[in-house]
Amino acid sequence: MEQDYQQRHTEAKNVYQSVIDGYMASACPCAFPRFRQIAGINCVDSGDSYCCFDTELLLALIKPFFDVSPSERNDECANEKWVCKTCGSEYEWGWSDFSIHVNRQKLALTNLRASTIGKAAGKPIPLYLGLFGHSYPPPSEMRPANLEEMAAYLNER
């Protein structure tokens, strides 16, 4: 099981990195609403308690493209202000643990400065790595998808 997850994670990392490379070649991630949607998944918004592994991976991959500084907010266990180095869009990053088993990052857009290039986001949100936690949103909100679907969804203009 563990090895299987590692392989899925490595495959997802390669595909998401190529998606982000494409974003950076034409603008920045902020210009893509579907990227913002998945990067912005926050279980607290629906009163749930889970980690979205697709969100965690995307945030790890895009962090080098942001200037990170201390945040004035303190509503999470850790708070940071992320500013896109390309367009100057501002986000509030947060990290909290809900139990010894479940913790998650969130990236909430607070000031969009990019012109939109990508196609509008829809629901249910496709996810490849998926969720782990104590309570989940209904299937109308999120659904399992393969990596080809993920790349197509994130790249569509």
30 counts as binding Zn ion under rule CB under 5 A: yes
**83 to 112, contacts with Zn ion by CB under 5 A?**
84, 86-87, 89
Three-class DSSP category at 5: helix
Minimum distance from residue 84 beta carbon to Zn ion (Å): 3
The least CB distance from residue 7 to Zn ion, in Å, is 31
Tell me if 39 contacts Zn ion by CB under 5 A.
no
How many angstroms separate the CA atoms of 24 and 53, rounded? 22
Residue type for position 73 = R
Closer to Zn ion by Cβ: residue 58 or 129: 58
Evaluated on CA atoms 114, 116, 121, 127, the torsion sign reads negative
State the nearest-atom distance from the C-beta of 90 to Zn ion, in Å: 10
Closest C-alpha to 95, from 78, 111, 112: 78
46 lies in the site for Zn ion, by CB under 5 A: no
